[in-house]
Amino acid sequence: MPVEQSRIFSSSCSALLKIHSAGTGLYSYGHTEHLLILLARSQTTHRTRIVPQPLFHCIVRHDTVQYSSLLRGFPLGTVPEMLLCLVSLITILFLCRWLRARKRVSGISNKYVFITGCDSGFGNLLAKRLDQLGFRVFAACFTEKGEDELKKTTSDKLVTVHLDVTKSESIQRAIELVKSQVGQAGLWGLVNNAAVGTPFGPCDWLNVQEFRSMFDVNFFGLVDVTLGFVPLIKMAKGRIVNVSSVIARISLPAAPYCATKSAVESFTDSLRKNMAYFGVKVSCIEPGFFKTSIITSELFKSTSEQLWERQTEELKEEYGRDYLEKVVKNVGKQINSYADPDLMKVVSCMEHAVSAEHPWTRYAPGWDAKFFWIPLSYMPTVIIDYVFSQTMVRPAKSVY
């Protein structure tokens, strides 16, 4: 590079860096710039080099440009400032998210919501909650007892519907009932909550029919209901809320249930992408471990005993004659000690997904979901398997 051009270019760089330094003298670290232009002189070559700003900083003195490692020359005073900026940014983002999440839709009294699995648990509480808020609720129950008890504790606006999600004709009757009442308004919300949790046991205790029966309720029933109501939901540009589980992310030794919930997650993700074009918002609820009727210590004990009785003598020897007793005691203790009795944590998320102007795509109610199951799901498989191996009962002929 000619000497005159070098001098002009060097002066320009110095002026530019001084402007960005905002009065810091000879040093310029260009906090907001991504690139620094360095004029590198050597005895054999003259060239202009562009260096990534995070790697180097410039020291400008007259028309000489030098650079050194940022790690060696970084001023200590900027570290707390950067941390403060980072904390402030995170706080602002959370505040914006919180304010955005508080906005609720208008015209609730004219919005219809269909909920499955309202006999007990999350669905029952959600039906009551939305009825109190003023929504027009269709509460689908599997039993007449569930319908009768729900009618006693809700307003006249709530309509109970008998529904067996494993039978297409039952689903079609429910769809025709809803059509006759919502008219051109369409269906604002669909909450797929119906599910079963048993049988629960090692894979080699089960047969394929037990997998099929659980898929019929937890997955195929959910898909059948959803596809049947989609035209009405499109009319209202409404919401679809599918209840999965946090163990869809990380499977327990309860293969049928975990497999169905993993399928629900995948279907929900695909559905969300498809329905976005039509103004329909799709959310997934991933509850942690809550105390519901889907699995209790008594139910686990009875189903485990039934499974154990039909096993071969050879399999019983592999697991040990006292294996069933140990498992029932271990799992029963976990259910009674660790299951969260506060079901409203889940219901609040379901309510938000239905009534918020900007619902989230995923909800993970429960402290165990947030601080144990989800973090664990990102761990290497070897760590996940080790954690489970420390809490499970080992068979008598275990190799480790």
The catalytic residues are 257
CA torsion sign for 167, 169, 174, 178 is positive
Instruction: Say which DSSP state 185 is in.
Output: G
Cβ atoms of residues 113 and 130 within 8 Å: yes
- Rounded Cα distance, 277 and 30, in Å: 43
For residue 20, give the amino acid letter. Answer: H
Dihedrals phi, psi of 171, to nearest 5 degrees:
-65, -40
- Cross-strand bridge partners of residue 191: 115, 241
- Rounded Cα distance, 104 and 351, in Å: 11
Instruction: Say which DSSP state 29 is in.
Output: -
Cβ atoms of residues 112 and 185 within 8 Å: yes
Query: Around 381, how many Cα atoms within 13 Å sit in the side-chain half-sphere?
Result: 1
Omega prior to 199 cis, within 30 of 0: yes
User: 51: which 2 tokens?
Assistant: 């260096």
Residues with Cβ < 8 Å from 116, sequence gap 6 or more? 123, 140, 163, 165, 191, 192, 193, 194, 222, 225
